[in-house]
Structure 1
Amino acid sequence: MIETGISELDKQLGGGIKKGSNIMMIGPPMSRKEVILNHIMYHGAAKNKNAVITVNTYETGAGILEWFRENKLILPLSRIGIVDCITRMIGVEADDDDNIKIANHPVDLTGIGIRISQFLEEYSMRKNVRKIQLCVNSLSALLLYSNIRIVYKFLHVYTRRIKAAGGLGIYVLESGIHDMQSIATLNHLFDGVMEIKSENGKNFIRVIGLSPKPTLWLEYEIDGAKVMIT
């Protein structure tokens, strides 16, 4: 099992998420789901000693690392890989380094895939790190620039690789902006859904599809980088 680091959620899941699982994280804007994703990333890398690869379409690679530093979360950089889809899109020149590989644009799925594969090869072949987490934030941006058929084919490759490696994949989708057919199509790739909702100014999270019954809705609050179940 792979722990998320949200103890109440892990307990309801029987100790965490089954290895080899691919999960859609879906929720509305302003629900701070990117902090939940970062929390799971940090727990995976720092506590579970996994290698974590994140594809980010909203924040530069440098910005992501700075967020962790500002929140005093010390990442094991030898096991952190960021595919940066923003820096060149906004007209900033940057070169790859050990932790950040630069893609041209969120529409460049071929380039993004090459960089994911480079990190996967580095961790599994050169560093002998077998436990891999892949985070994509977000599928909504990829769908904005590409059609559902192309995004599905892209994800099919990496969800299969995560499953074969016994890793964990988490793929973020904004709720309320995609048609139900597109969501249903993508659902075929995933083992479960981490569902987030906002009601009356409060945020709730649950997981469905990974156990016989959905977990309970758990109310959460965000304090800096902390995800607190209330």
Structure 2
Amino acid sequence: MSQDAQRRYQFEGLPIEPVRPGTNLLVAGPPFAGTKAVALRMLAAGGLTEEGLVLVAADDTGTATLEAYAGVGGTFDRARMAVIECGSPGGDSDDGNIRTVRSPSDLTGIGIEFSSLYEGLYTEGVERVRIGLFSISTLLMYAEEFQPVYRFLHTITGRVRSADGLATCLIDPSAQDEQTISSVEQTFDGRVDVRRTDDGDYRLRVRGLPDQPDGWQEF
């Protein structure tokens, strides 16, 4: 196996072929289709071993996000992971791995925490970091304008590309217009669509990336 193949991110249990380091994936679908679980499974696949993990929890608490990650088989080293929680009725979390900003509208605060955590991991010798953003739809809902969200996404995806990481960022297409979705897609390398059929089956398809299965695949 070539060194390139060994370094690729693999997604056991999902009909997605390995992707190159530095790939940003937009995971799109409605909540009832299990879209968030798919995005978390993609981050958890293969285990993090010596990698880092940063999750942005804009639509749930940090604790619930960690529980959801563990629920899909995700494991992590507390020394190499953190969650940015975007507002909580209980205020700051007692969990040292959870950072809190006041609201999903505070993109500056989220960005500062993200940069601090990301740079801190690399200072500690962590070479690759996996990023999960849940969700872009929540950030857009709280934002007064689209451009600040776009710049925020551009910053995150740029860091992932430059440092050979992996990002899965969630969006609900039914909550945004087509122009917004199209603009968001420009910051990503590929898109993973998730849906649930009338028969209760779960399917996904990958677009924008080479060497992927064609059309909808059951999982």
Could you say what secondary structure the match of 2:148 adopts? helix
* Residue matched to 2:62: 61
Q: Give CA-to-partner distance per residue, 1:107-154, whole Å, 9 cap, x none.
A: 0000001111111111001x2001111110100000001121110011
What are the within-5 Å matches in structure 2 for residues 24-103 of structure 1?
Answer: 24-43=26-45, 46-47=47-48, 49-68=50-69, 74-87=75-88, 90=89, 92-95=90-93, 97-103=95-101
Match of 1:170? 168
Cα deviation, residue 34, structure 1: 1.5
Conserved 8 A contact 1:58-1:86: no
Deviation at 1:96, TM superposition (A): 6.7
> Conserved in 2, the CA contact under 8 Å of 1:68 and 1:75?
no
Aligned position for 1:121: 119
Corresponding position of 2:210: 211
Change (3 A) 1:162 1:74: closer
CA shift, 1:5, in A, is 3.0
Q: Distance in 1 between matches of 2:189 and 2:179?
A: 18
Q: Does 1:19 align with 2:16?
A: no
Show structure 1 runs of 4+ deviating over 6 A.
Answer: none
Amino acid of the structure 1 residue aligned with 2:25: I
Does the residue aligned with 2:32 lie in a helix, a strand or coil? coil
1:78 to 1:95, Cα distance in 2 relative to 1, 3 A: same
Counterparts of 1:184 and 1:100, CA distance in 2: 32
Q: Structure 1 residue 72: deviation in Å?
A: 7.1
Change (3 A) 1:111 1:139: same
Match of 2:11 among 4, 8, 15: 4
How many Å separate the matches in 1 of 2:67 and 2:31? Answer: 22
Label 1:199 to 1:148 Cα distance change in 2 as closer, same or farther (>3 A): same
Cα distance, 1:104–1:21 mapped onto 2, change above 3 Å: same
Q: TM-score, normalised by structure 1?
A: 0.83
How far residue 192 of structure 1 moved from its aligned partner, in angstroms, is 0.4
Among 122, 140, 143, the residue aligned to 2:140: 143
**Contact 2:42 2:168 (8 Å CA) reproduced:** no
- Kept in 2, the 8 Å contact 1:208–1:214? The answer is no
CA distance in 2, matches of 1:163, 1:186: 16
Q: Residue 168 of structure 1: CA displacement? A: 1.0
Instruction: Report the CA distance shift for 1:141/1:128 in structure 2 as closer, same or farther (over 3 A).
Output: same
Contact kept, 8 Å, 1:204 with 1:217, in 2: the verdict is: yes
In the TM superposition, what is the alpha-carbon distance from 1:69 to its structure 2 partner?
Answer: 5.6
Secondary structure in 2 aligned to 1:160?
A: helix
